[in-house]
Structure 1
Amino acid sequence: MKTPTARLVAMLVFGCLIPVVAAGQDATAPRTAWGAPDLGGVWDFRTITPLERPAALKDKAVLTAEEAAAFTQQSLEGRNADRRDGGARRDIERAYNDFWWDYGNSLTGDNRTSLIVDPPDGRVPGMTAEAQERAKAKRATGRRPVRSRVVIGSPAYGPEDVGLSERCMLGFNSGPPMLPSAYNNNVQLFQTPDHVVILNEMIHEARVVPLDGRAPLPDGIRQWMGDSRGRWDGDTLVVESRNYTDKTGSFYTIIGSFGSGETLHLVERFTRIDAETLLYEFIVDDPKTFTQPFTAAIPMKHSDAPLFEYACHEGNYGMTNLLTGARAVEVEAEAGR
């Protein structure tokens, strides 16, 4: 895994941000009573910085102040504009606009054009030939298991055909790895000398990460959020996770997935930059899915607000309607024979 190179790229890119976020603040990162960096509290990871660099920006990794202001304005105007394109089906599948959604309203402090910092083009690497063949075979034989968090525009013959977050199995921004999205972009960290708990607001997914050097789970035990083990690398908490179930993808965008989680090795790094900033980095390493590892860096801001309840299935009539509609289509097809 190209961890040293990816780490160096992330440090160089994020280094430009540190003076910005520290200006006017106490630059001293707090520590726990036992001397470790204090990562505890609620952290907000909203940003309008895209995961991948837009193709039109090519090799431009950072925007000027003027370009950043124009990008932000265009993004906010686009998200708040009413949508009436795409026909009746698209009209009922999506929100009219993003007024009630909570993407945030600013880029990362260094005006990066993508959250991905390695490869240098700011894009998710290509899939391996093996992964492409597996995806092709899966499409030919049916979509199950559905590894995407959200599925749009496909029939639901049973609950297994609906996205994982629609079934309240996994959140679509809580990962792992965590990615900014439309809402619930908050995570709370708890620490003891030998454990860290990562609690996401979305679906209240919690990972209890041992720091005591215990052995990982046997390879045959697979979990939705993997098996995580943590350690300190200087003042950075490093969490490595493996043993994901094959029912999850190796990596997710909001409405898509790549590969199978069974071959994923995920490395997450948490660094307290100052009193108000936690740098979250992740490295996706899956040689069976991607042609190379890739790294993203997301600065999180400290929040004084609590996490709120995420009642995923409360009042959720969407799946009932989807399955009822599928049964109606089957009845019509049978009657037309």
Structure 2
Amino acid sequence: MNRALAFALGTALCVSPIALGASLEAAAQTKPATTYKAPRTAFGQPDISGFWSNSTLTPMTRQAKYGERLAYTEAEVKEMEASAEAEVEEGNKPTDPNAPAEAPARPANTRPEFAAAGGDVGGYNRGWLDPGHQVMRVRGEPRTSLITTKNGQPPPRKAAPAGAQAAAGGRAQGGGGMGSFDHPELRSLGERCVIGFGRNAGPPMFPNGFYNNNYHFVQSPDAVVITVEMNHDARIVRLNSKHRTDKVRPYFGDSIGWWEGDTLVVETTNLPRSQQFMGAWENLKVTERFTRVAKDRMHYAFTVEDPTVWDAPWGGEYEFSPLQGVIYEYACHEGNYALEGILAGARHQEKEAAAAKAAPAKAATKGD
């Protein structure tokens, strides 16, 4: 399994920004402005094929301390990237076979997402992780976030109608997560190896923060297929087609695409509830734009809109870089004992609880 890459992402408003209500400033931020001319495929399309990565130190949302700053200073970039290198060096030190059983103290520069997942992400040491080691640059500018709203955060959501549970919509189908142990369908889709965890495949497409944020783009005259290493998912974009009308909501939604000059525009609707994005799914539309802006860079922008969840469309952007290698199969279920163990443990706890409940009754019967 190729374990390159890391975290961050977001994307941006690019499709008819005025019509979408975006400001001219936001529109300028997401335009991939370049004089580069992408090579063509044998059938005349701009060539975006190949192996790409979205690994980065830049987070999806901006830290509050940066306020409305879209970019880091070069001094901040230097400090962040040096810290990432130190993290790798510290995390890859050999483990002492005679060390005590208790967990060692975490390095001071452990990333928050690693700490939240248990330090070594449930049993992975740093050698198995590749969370990115460079700040994301867009048109050469080092970004503080991949979402390009004014404060780098998703906009406020509308108040949900009485009785609605929009924010928890993903839990109803394959998204029970922690505390849901009755049957496997209540566990998360990622844990069940149905699709990858995080939003690597999207839409919109984000790295998961730990590893395997790699992609293989394949083109034909009628379709573009994006194979995602994290969990061997494949997004199929039908070119010059229409959205399905059968009310079926496939994983990753229903994606159609067309070329606008050198830009591949992809519009996705009909996402399933299990892949809700920040509470939106039923009326969610995601528009993505892929533009090759250099031999070694592909600009990616997205706009999300759902009038029942947000007052106006919003989005973000980043740039893919070439993957130095190829993608191998992500065999999710090989040696995966976690799901079986979790459910078996729950059944054991239930038996213990039932036995404890029955014990007083048995004692009373013996006393009689």
TM-score range, shorter chain: 0.7 to 0.9
The number of aligned residues is 315
Q: Residue type of the partner of 2:186? A: D
1:30 equivalenced with 2:78 (yes/no): no
Matched residue SS, 2:218: strand
TM-score (norm 1): 0.81
Counterpart in 1 of 2:205? 178
The amino acid that maps onto 1:300 is F
Question: For residues 222-251 of structure 1, what are the alpha-carbon distances to aligned partners after superposition, in whole Å with 9 as ceiling and x for unaligned?
Answer: 2111111101112110000111222321x2
The 3-state SS of whatever aligns with 1:102 is: coil
Supply the AA of the counterpart residue of 2:62.
R
How big is each residue's C-alpha offset from its partner over 1:234-288, in whole Å with a ceiling of 9 and x where there is no partner? Answer: 2110000111222321x2xxxxxx2252221111110000111111111121222
Q: Is structure 2 residue 132 aligned with structure 1 residue 116?
A: no
Picking from 198, 207, 216, the partner of 2:243 is 216
Partner of 1:326: 346
Residue from 291, 307, 331 that aligns with 1:271: 291
2: CA distance, partners of 1:8 / 1:131: 33
Cα deviation for residue 169 of structure 1 reads 1.7
Contact 1:278 1:299 (8 Å CA) reproduced: yes
2:69 — aligned with what?
Answer: 60
Determine the C-alpha separation between the residues in 2 that align with 1:45 and 1:292.
Answer: 27
Structure 1 regions of 5+ residues with no counterpart?
Answer: 252-257
- Between the aligned partners of 1:330 and 1:193, the Cα distance in structure 2 is 56
For the pair 1:51 / 2:60, whether they are aligned, the reply is: yes
1:151-300 superposed matches below 5 A:
151=177, 153-171=178-196, 172=198, 173-181=200-208, 182-212=210-240, 214-249=241-276, 251=277, 258-300=278-320
Alignment partner of 1:107 out of 135, 146, 167: 135
Higher helix share: 1
Distance apart, 1:328 and its partner CA = 1.5
Counterpart position of 1:130: 160
Question: RMSD value over aligned CA atoms?
Answer: 3.3
Secondary structure at the aligned position of 2:80 is classed as: helix
- The 2-side partners of 1:227 and 1:137 are apart by 22
**Partner SS for 1:307:** coil
> If the length of structure 2 is used for normalisation, what is the TM-score?
0.75
SS at structure 2 position matched to 1:247: helix
In structure 1, the residue matched to 2:29 is 13
Gaps of 5+ in 2: 1-12, 92-103, 108-113, 358-368
Does the CA contact (< 8 Å) of 2:166 and 2:279 recur in 1?
no
